[in-house]
């Protein structure tokens, strides 16, 4: 993990050496995210969006510029509002673990 200035802002960028750690968080996040949604009543609220997920910046081996990649995907519900509500506890957990990430609504279907 390193800090890179992108578009005038410092960003945390993960590297190949972080891949295994990120993969462990991926499994935990997707499981917790789905369980949070079920606990909220499994409602499908909001606009139908594809590609919802929690993202990080990642620098693939041999590349010069970091890319946005999914840490966890939200394929179990279509509505962006329901997905966002269920992602909040997951995001808080990631932040407490020191993972620099953000939620992305994806694209409207």
Torsion region of 98: left, alpha or beta (phi above 0 gives left; psi -120 to 50 gives alpha): left
pLDDT value of position 91? 95
Number of domains within the chain: 1
- Return d(Cα 32, Cα 16) in angstroms, integer: 25
* pTM for this prediction: 0.89
Question: pLDDT in tens for each of the 109 residues of the chain?
Answer: 999 888 899 999 999 999 999 999 999 999 999 999 999 999 999 999 999 999 999 999 999 889 999 999 999 999 999 999 999 999 999 999 999 999 999 999 7
Residue 81 belongs to what domain range?
Answer: 2-108
Residue 2: its H or E element: strand 2-6
């Amino acid at each position: 993990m390193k800090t890179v200035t992108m578009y005038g802002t410092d960003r945390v960028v993960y590297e190949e050496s972080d891949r295994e750690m990120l993969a462990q968080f991926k499994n935990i996040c997707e499981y917790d995210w789905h369980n949070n949604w079920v606990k909220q009543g499994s409602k499908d609220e909001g606009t139908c969006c594809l590609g919802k997920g929690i993202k990080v910046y990642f620098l693939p081996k041999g590349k010069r510029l970091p890319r946005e990649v999914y840490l966890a995907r939200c394929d179990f519900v279509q509505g962006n509002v329901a997905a966002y509500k269920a992602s909040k506890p997951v995001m808080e957990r990631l932040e407490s673990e020191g993972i620099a990430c953000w939620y992305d609504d994806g694209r409207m279907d």
